[in-house]
Amino acid sequence: MDIKVLIDLIKVALENGFAYGVLALGVYITYSILDFPDLSVDGTVPLGATVSAVLILQGMNPWLSCLIAFLAGAAAGCVTGLLHVKLKIRPLLCGILVMTALLSINLVLMMKGTGGMSTAALYNSPTILKVFPVGLIPENVNGYKLRIVVVTLALAVICKLLLDGYLKTKSGLLLRAAGGNEQFVTMLARNPGVSKILGLAIGNGLAAFAGAILTQSKSSADLQMGQGMVVIGLASVIIGTSVFRGVRRMKDTTKVILGAVIYAACLQVALALGLPNSYLKLLQALLFVLALVSTDLLDGGLKKSANAKGGR
């Protein structure tokens, strides 16, 4: 492969990768910390996209629209949590229910906001990539979309630092305990259900925020964008934590963002090799399987070599 082609791939991977990184942080909270396989992400990413696009079209500041997108996602996450905690519905079903309900909600929001269309175009509207202070960064340098990369990187890093900080607080530590040992939280005289709902709210808030970033960086929102977001998020988390498993000093939050970039790069490689666009979701699923299996293979390989040593 030509070095220029390689650079092109990295460039495109970085354009999407950091926005996926924000999504991966959200999935990290629900999947890794809370041990809750949350499918509602497939609905909350387009929810965030729709909310922010519609609000921008109504004239709202794009940054403020991101905040409201986060809150909308958090509210949806609360619903997933309430279904699980109050009605004792299984985690997978809660996610499916909320994801399905959001299909309608997103459609209604989009139609109301755009006057009957199922997509929103932001080409002539301000987005987080056009307003101050981002407008000061050159949009293109030698044909590379520098601005998108810088902005999404900065947002991913800010989210990561905030999350790192939160996980060190009393509330954050209780969240980690709730994922590891519910009985322990109960014995601390706290309702573990509340921690779960809180975790799902933050996770889905971040997913919706990622949706808002994606839609504003593409200057368009469509309702199909949610398809496969769970897979992207989970694959990023699993790739990141397994590729960098040996790196002790690196925080998990950094690992999952890098995992998202690697995942985006893998998709770009496949597309660059001539894979038709229609096979993209199939490829996403296959890559996910590969990521899952490779973790086991790594484990298996390590175990085998350990056994061999023990046998001698």
Partner 1 sequence: MLRCEGLLKRFNVGTPDETMLFDGFDFEAEQGDFVSVIGSNGSGKTTLLNLICGSLPLDGGKITFGGRDITRMSEHKRAAMIGRVFQDPQKGTCANLTILENMALADNKKGLFGLTGAVNKKRIEYYRTLLEECGMGLENRMNTPAGSLSGGQRQALALVIANMTDIELLILDEHTAALDPKSSETVMRLTDKLVSGKKITTLMVTHNLRYALEYGNRLLMMHMGRSVMDLRGPEKKNAKIEDLLKTFNEISIECGN
Asked if 87 interacts with partner 1 (CB under 8 A), we say no
Of the pair 177, 206, the CB lying nearest partner 1 is at 177
Of the pair 8, 182, the CB lying nearest partner 1 is at 182
Residue 201 C-beta: closest distance to partner 1, Å: 15
Of the pair 188, 306, the CB lying nearest partner 1 is at 188
Asked if 177 interacts with partner 1 (CB under 8 A), we say yes
Three-class SS string for 236-288?
HHHHHHHHCCCCCCCCHHHHHHHHHHHHHHHHHHHHHCCCCHHHHHHHHHHHH
| CA 46 – CA 30 distance, rounded (Å) | 18
Triad 254, 279, 26: Cα angle to 5°: 25
Triad 149, 262, 29: Cα angle to 5°: 90
Give the residue, chosen from 124, 142, 183, 277, that forms a contact with partner 1 under the rule CB under 8 A: 183
Count of residues engaged in binding partner 1, rule: CB under 8 A: 23
Residues 15-34 that bind partner 1 (CB under 8 A): none
Residue 199 C-beta: closest distance to partner 1, Å: 13
| CA 230 – CA 117 distance, rounded (Å) | 26
Of the pair 184, 279, the CB lying nearest partner 1 is at 184
Asked if 185 interacts with partner 1 (CB under 8 A), we say yes
Asked if 174 interacts with partner 1 (CB under 8 A), we say yes
Length of the chain: 312
Three-class SS string for 73-124?
HHHHHHHHHHHHHCCCCCHHHHHHHHHHHHHHHHHHHHHHHHCCCCEEECCC
Close Cβ partners of 90 (under 8 Å, ≥ 6 residues apart)? 84
Of the pair 89, 194, the CB lying nearest partner 1 is at 194
Give the residue, chosen from 71, 166, 250, 295, that forms a contact with partner 1 under the rule CB under 8 A: 166
Among the residue ranges 61-69, 91-99, 123-131, 182-190, the one whose residues contact partner 1 (CB under 8 A): 182-190
Asked if 43 interacts with partner 1 (CB under 8 A), we say no
Token reading at 217 = 């960086």
Give the residue, chosen from 104, 181, 289, 302, that forms a contact with partner 1 under the rule CB under 8 A: 181
**234 close to 26: Cβ distance less than 8 angstroms:** no
| CA 208 – CA 69 distance, rounded (Å) | 6
Asked if 179 interacts with partner 1 (CB under 8 A), we say yes
Window 186-225: contact mask with partner 1 (x via CB under 8 A): xxxxxxx---------------------------------
Asked if 245 interacts with partner 1 (CB under 8 A), we say no
Residues at the site binding partner 1, with contacts judged by CB under 8 A: 166, 168-174, 176-177, 179-181, 183-192
